[in-house]
Structure 1
Amino acid sequence: MENKYTIQNYDSMRQKQSIKKKGALNPMYGGRHSAKTKQKISNSQKIRWNNIRQAIEQVSEETNDKARQDLIDQALYSDTISFKDEQQARNFFKIMSQSDKELLAKYLEPIVNSFVREYLQHVQ
């Protein structure tokens, strides 16, 4: 069965519709939206963009939580933690919660102390 909605058919259909609504044939030709209509449009767009903004923030928050947890797991359960660049490291510490920071500090303290002791032994 042939698809009657091919791109070529769609383009010709759009062109025909465009011709039907040009100039004086357009219902809004010469007209203007009233102040009340403009306000309705404005309000609906504000609501629409607020919903979009909330959805983006929710996804971003979920992504930050997952990224934070992955990096903490990497730090605690593997020998290394790596960042793409300095900015990624800064971002990681910005999104860490206080309990995450305490957990990481508790984990890293003996390791850092060990390095310091070894360094001091070599220096002396």
Structure 2
Amino acid sequence: MNWKRLAIALLVGALAGVFCAYGTSELDPEEMGFEIDDALLITTFYNRLLIGLVVGLAGGVVLLNGVLANAALRGLVLGAVVSVAIGFYGGMEILVLFGAIYGLIADVVATKFGGEY
């Protein structure tokens, strides 16, 4: 296991979690159609941290030739898959899209700086 990759991916996931939870807290609940409470914000942070964990552990998964292209696709897919559960929360489908983007970023950064590139 590449511990450096895991640490980098978890750090990126935690930063994405803080950013995403803050962005969610700034939404207008009436416009969104649901209440924005602490449980939603914690769940949002946890989801992004989980993306970091999954991406960090998936360093050996090969979907494409080319190290960075593989990292980008792998992160995109894993981020979307992990975020599907939170996306079912009424009106939060956008979190799946952002999860895919954060997964892509986490995987590319972890691959580049984790010693695989």
Identify the TM-score tier after normalising by the shorter chain: under 0.3
Alignment TM-score, normalising by the size of structure 1: 0.25
Q: Please tell me whether Structure 1 or Structure 2 has the larger radius of gyration of its CA atoms.
A: 1
Structure number with greater CO (CA < 8 Å, separation at least 6) is 2
Alignment TM-score, normalising by the size of structure 2: 0.26
